[in-house]
Each structure stands twice: as C-alpha cells, then as structure tokens.
C-alpha cells in the first residue's frame, strides 16, 4: 500500500504479565473505512488506544499520518478526531458549550455547525446530563468530527442507539467518507461493519484471525442453501452438487458451497423434474457473522 494513513507492524501490548495484543499488522489507506472487529477482550480497544497515542506499545511500530502517535500526540490531535466508548462529558455544560470548549482545546476550529450536522441544533442549550443516551452519543460524534479531521477513530459509535439513530450515524459517517475522511471503526454490530467498511480485520485473542476487503473475507466462506427435504425422500436422492450436503434431521438439508448459483440451479431443476416442493428454501452468500464465527473457531462455520 502506498503511503498508508495508518501502518501497524508487529504491534504487541502487555498489561503486566498478560499480553493483550500479540503481534498485529495492518494498514489503512487514505479515504477508506477500516473496521477492527473481535469478541470482548480481543484487543480492539488496546490497539485503538495505541493508534490514538494514549498507550505506548510494548513492541512493534505504529505510524499514524506518518508519525509516531505516542511521541507526536499533540500534533496528531489537531488532525484526528476521536470518539471514545465513554467520553465522560462535564454534565453541567450545555451541548453548545461543549462544542465551544472542544473548539478551543482540540486545536481544530469549527468550520461548520457540527450540532446541525448531527441533528442536535435544537438541543444546543440543553445540559449534557439532560440529553438522552442517543443524543449524548451524537454529541460525542459531533465533537469528534469538529473541524473536519483527516482521520477519525470511532470506538463503538452506535452501541446503545435505537435503529433510527444508528442509521443517522451511518449517514453521517458515509458523508464524511465521501468527503475523503479516513475512518477506523470498532463495533460489535457486524451489519454495521458489512455496510460501512471497505476493509476489516477480525482480532481473536490478540492476533489478526482474518483480514481483507469485505468482499474478500465474505468470498472466502462458503455460501449456504437450505431447504426441507420432502418426507418421502432420503438425502441420497439429491443430485450431485459441488458443495457439501449436511443433513439436519429430521428433514432439513444444508448445502455449503462455493458454487451457489450452479448448485441452486441443479437443485431447482432436479426438484422441478421430480415435481417436488422444497419447503422453506433459502440461499445466501456468507455473512460477516459466518466469517466472525469461523475466525473464532479457526474452522469454516
Ligand atoms: N488496564 C488493563 N489491565 C489489565 N488487563 C487489561 C487492561 N485493559 C485491558 N485488559 C485486558 O486486555 C485484553 C484486551 O482488552 P481490550 O479492551 O483491548 O479488548 P476489546 O477487544 O476492546 O474488548 P471489548 O470488546 O470488550 O471492548 C482483555 O483481556 C482485557 O481484560
């Protein structure tokens, strides 16, 4: 990758005797959204904190916008926006006062009304403690995007949000990507990563278990066809398929295949010729959920 915005090589982070991050490598290109996924305790936050300059790696190298984030934190702060999992705002300030305070201290001057952008303009004079949980998350995001940073770190930006607020957050993130912002996202919502990310890495117990573009990681997992086998038939009666056939008694059949279209066509033609109805038939490509499960178990899910 030419001039990555983020370059992580051999990153290791230790808490006392416990090594939480055990040799992680990845790069993030300019203008892309990179999702860092993994189960609880996989090492996502620890990795994010080293990128944000909040934690010094035990070993390995981390470059953010060409600089060492631990040594150059002040300088990078003016160019990066951070939305932490828990921001801990002063509860007595209003949303508008928070924006003013942040403009003064972050080194990033407001170039637009961020409260307007995050649909919070009508809440400008409301104290932080009186905002709803979802509004507080939006205020977090407003402060992170203040002054249009080149790079944005979003640590679980939509946790606890209702579906509508989540959608609105996604629209804001898509808008920022369209303007050329580079984004690093952690999330437990796999559909969020699937819908927003260009590339991703799944961490498992401190190492990268899977990485690549969303298309690549999805294509590496088999697609599935499932249906109810008519009671009069045995699985041996099925036509020869490219995929593996798994019988789930009493009468459910699952086919895991790299040739979804061909196997589906064979099955439908066979059923058509025999005059059979395949009940509750479903055919779908692998989801990020399948990839995630495979990454955790180390085998195809
Ligand atoms: N300050 C600390 N001292 C000791 N161990 C820690 C500390 N912070 C994190 N850990 C441990 O390091 C591992 C990685 O934690 P980390 O918070 O990076 O994981 P995560 O992937 O962000 O998890 P989550 O999804 O729950 O936020 C965990 O086992 C955690 O218990």
Question: What interface predicted TM-score (ipTM) does this complex get?
Answer: 0.96
Distance CA 260, CA 262 (A): 6
- Cα 137 to ligand 1 centre (Å): 22
Q: In the predicted model, what is the mean pLDDT of the chain?
A: 91
Closest residue CA from atom 17 of ligand 1: 45
- List the one residue out of 1, 3, 12 whose CA is nearest residue 62: 12
The superfamily (CATH) of domain 1-79+154-166+175-220 is P-loop containing nucleotide triphosphate hydrolases (3.40.50.300)
Q: What pLDDT score does 300 carry?
A: 40
Tokens of 38: 């993994």
Closest residue CA from atom 12 of ligand 1: 20
In angstroms, the Cα distances linking 91 to 88, 96, 131, 137, 144 are 8, 13, 10, 14, 18
- Cα 114 to ligand 1 centre (Å): 32
- Cα 43 to ligand 1 centre (Å): 6
- Cα 145 to ligand 1 centre (Å): 26
Q: What pLDDT score does 102 carry?
A: 86
- Name the DSSP letter for residue 220: T
- List the one residue out of 143, 131, 68 whose CA is nearest residue 104: 143
Distance CA 43, CA 18 (A): 12
What is the SS3 assignment for 95?
A: helix
Ligand 1: residues within 6 Å at CB? 15, 18, 20, 38, 40-46
Tokens of 152: 């944005």
Provide the pairing of β-strand 33-38 with 18-28: unpaired
Q: Is the peptide bond before 250 cis (omega within 30 degrees of 0)?
A: yes
- Cα 206 to ligand 1 centre (Å): 10
- Name the DSSP letter for residue 128: G
- List the one residue out of 214, 160, 173 whose CA is nearest residue 191: 214
For residue range 264-297, list pLDDT tens digits in order.
999 999 999 999 999 999 999 999 988 988 888 7
Q: Determine contact, residues 300/291, Cβ cutoff 8 Å.
A: no
Q: Determine contact, residues 148/179, Cβ cutoff 8 Å.
A: yes
- Assigned CATH class of 222-285: alpha beta
Tokens of 28: 């993030």
- List the one residue out of 184, 174, 165 whose CA is nearest residue 33: 184
Q: What pLDDT score does 298 carry?
A: 63
| Residue ranges for the chain with pLDDT beneath 50 | 299-301
Given the CA of residue 18, which atom of ligand 1 is nearest to it? 5
Q: What pLDDT score does 105 carry?
A: 80
Given the CA of residue 43, which atom of ligand 1 is nearest to it? 18
Q: What pLDDT score does 245 carry?
A: 95
Q: Determine contact, residues 254/246, Cβ cutoff 8 Å.
A: yes
Q: What pLDDT score does 148 carry?
A: 87
In sequence order, which residues have a C-beta less than 8 Å from that of residue 32 and are 6 or more positions away? 177, 182, 183, 198, 199
pTM, rounded to two decimals? 0.86
Q: Which of 41, 47, 48 to mutate to test the pocket of ligand 1 (most atoms within 8 A of CB)?
A: 41
Residues of the chain with CATH 3.30.70: 222-285
Closest residue CA from atom 18 of ligand 1: 43
Residues of the chain with CATH 3.40.50.300: 1-79+154-166+175-220
Q: Determine contact, residues 34/200, Cβ cutoff 8 Å.
A: yes
């Amino acid at each position: 990758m030419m001039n990555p915005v983020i370059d992580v090589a051999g990153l290791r982070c230790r808490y006392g005797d416990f090594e939480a991050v055990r040799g992680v490598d990845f790069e993030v290109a300019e203008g892309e959204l990179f999702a860092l996924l993994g189960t609880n305790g996989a090492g996502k936050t620890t990795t994010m904190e080293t990128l944000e300059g909040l934690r010094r790696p035990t070993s390995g190298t981390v470059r953010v916008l060409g600089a060492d984030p631990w040594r150059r934190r002040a300088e990078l702060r003016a160019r990066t926006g951070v939305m932490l999992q828990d921001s801990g705002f002063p509860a007595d300030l209003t949303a508008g006062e928070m924006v003013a305070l942040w403009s003064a201290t972050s080194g990033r001057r407001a170039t637009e009304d961020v409260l307007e952008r995050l649909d919070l303009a009508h809440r400008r004079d409301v104290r932080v403690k009186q905002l709803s949980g979802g509004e507080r998350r939006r205020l977090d995001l407003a402060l992170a995007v203040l002054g249009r940073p080149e790079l944005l770190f979003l640590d679980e930006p939509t946790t606890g949000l209702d579906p509508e607020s989540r959608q609105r957050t996604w629209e804001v993130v898509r808008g920022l990507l369209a303007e050329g912002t580079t984004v690093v996202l952690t999330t437990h919502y796999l559909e969020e990563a699937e819908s927003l990310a260009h590339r991703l890495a799944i961490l498992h117990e401190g190492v990268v278990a899977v990485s690549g573009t969303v298309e690549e990681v999805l294509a590496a997992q088999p697609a599935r066809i499932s249906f109810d086998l008519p009671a009069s038939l045995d699985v041996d009666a099925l036509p020869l398929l490219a995929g593996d056939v798994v019988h789930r008694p009493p009468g459910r059949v699952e086919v895991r295949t790299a040739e979804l279209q061909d196997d589906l066509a064979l099955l439908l033609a066979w059923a058509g010729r025999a005059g059979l109805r395949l009940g509750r038939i479903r055919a779908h490509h692998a989801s990020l959920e399948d990839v995630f499960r495979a990454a955790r178990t180390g085998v195809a899910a």
